Structure 1
Amino acid sequence: MTPNKTIVVGLTGGIGSGKSTISNMLVQKNITVIDADKISREVLSIYPEILLEIEQAFGKEYFYEDGTLNRKKLGAYVFSSKKLKKDLENIIIPYIKREIFDKIKKCKENMEKICIVDAPTLIENNLHYDMDIVVLVVVDKKTQLDRVMRRDLQSEIEVKKRINSQLSIKKKIKFADYIIDNSKDIQFTKTQLDSILTEIYLRGKNEEI
């Protein structure tokens, strides 16, 4: 027998795919979820040097008078260009990865059976190479557009820019071990998730033998 191993699962999907719904389901099952979006906000406080780098790269106009980052304004600007988006990611992603790996390490130290890394740009930023399993959440384009327009109160043109700034689902599928179709009702999504978790736990047991 080998020592218990924590299975690290990457959970990803395009904007508006409903990935956060699945994360909430996992939390309700008492499974640790490492939220990359939450970490991306926290690192600005943990590492103040990030704000200095952003100001130098993009200018003071993307900050409020109190010095905090105007994330919405900066986001609208960088999503207009793949280069600008990459420039911002080059500044902030290394700090996000550092925090993610620290949290994965704690999961392993606590000998948790499974640990989820919820990251919308998991594949774009090569984090999938550090996962044991990748789960991709997909949704049809019309549902995706409608969800984001309604949620973020943005125009169709603005939302399409954000969608197009991400890696296409067709390319993401190549890296996925499991796919969850989140286009239908909540029960359909839950059934798929439960089935995937059962397979992951079985896989973990087999690897211990």
Structure 2
Amino acid sequence: MFKIGLTGGIASGKSTVLTYFKDKGIPYIDADIVAREVVEPGTEGLKAIVDTFGSHVLHDDGTLNREALGAIVFHNEEKRQLLNSCLKTHIRNRIMELTAQYEQGNTPVLIYDIPLLIEGEWYTMMDEVWLVYVNETTQIERLMSRNGYTREDALARINSQMRLDDKRANADIIIDNNSTPHDLIVQLDTIWNERIETVLQESK
């Protein structure tokens, strides 16, 4: 199975890139979906968060209040690391479980959509790492436009992640998304033709 690690940063366009390959029928594991699964009511992941941050990060119905938790961790690196350590093992176990299911099904290509692909050292188990790249100015402008953030809020969210420039060293393919949607599709068509179609043909 050809494992592709897809990473990027907030407002880099990673979701757009993933959608392109989803629409072509390539299966994927979305770490954000997994992260939501492991903090559902009754899970060990949610218990770990409550033990660390207190019950005020819960809604009245016992579900996780993401806004309350986000307000705590976005501006505090130490608290953000605490959150990551709460969930890291639970997320890893679930992703490995899903990987095993795809391997048993003889899946030829699998994309891993993992924001912390580099930081969490997931890249070491990938055959290729694809980085969706934008410069910081573009990130800020898109966040302010898309989410209505102030420049300060946009920067806080960008700075809570590893810089995209620092991720480049671990990337096999850089997908530059600083330009137009059309330019992005042209790049993705090339990647499809050169990287994916060959693997799919060989698996038949």
TM-score w.r.t. the length of structure 1 is 0.89
Cα deviation, residue 30, structure 1: 0.2
Alpha-carbon deviations, 1:109-143, whole Å to 9, x = none?
Answer: 22222100011111111111111110000112222
Question: Within 1, Cα distance between the matches of 2:26 and 2:198?
Answer: 17
Residue in structure 1 matched with residue 121 of structure 2 by the alignment: 126
Cα deviation, residue 74, structure 1: 0.7
1:185-204 superposed matches below 5 A = 185-201=180-196, 204=199
Question: Within 2, Cα distance between the matches of 1:29 and 1:47?
Answer: 36
Partner of 1:174: helix, strand, or coil? Answer: helix
Cα deviation, residue 204, structure 1: 4.2
Residue in structure 2 matched with residue 102 of structure 1 by the alignment: 97
Residue in structure 1 matched with residue 156 of structure 2 by the alignment: 161
In structure 1, what residue type is equivalent to 2:162? L
1:1-209 superposed matches below 5 A = 6-45=1-40, 48-201=43-196, 204=199
Distance 1:25 1:206, change over 3 A: closer
Cα deviation, residue 167, structure 1: 1.0
Q: Identity of aligned pairs, percent?
A: 36
Aligned-residue RMSD, C-alpha:
2.1
Deviates more, 1:46-55 or 1:162-171: 46-55
Retained in 1: the 8 A contact 2:5–2:111?
yes
Cα deviation, residue 153, structure 1: 3.0
Deviates more, 1:82-91 or 1:43-52: 43-52
Partner of 1:112: helix, strand, or coil? Answer: coil
Structure 2 unmatched ranges of 5 or more: none
Distance 1:204 1:69, change over 3 A: same
Cα deviation, residue 95, structure 1: 1.2
Cα deviation, residue 185, structure 1: 1.7
Aligned length: 203
Structure 1 unmatched ranges of 5 or more: 1-5
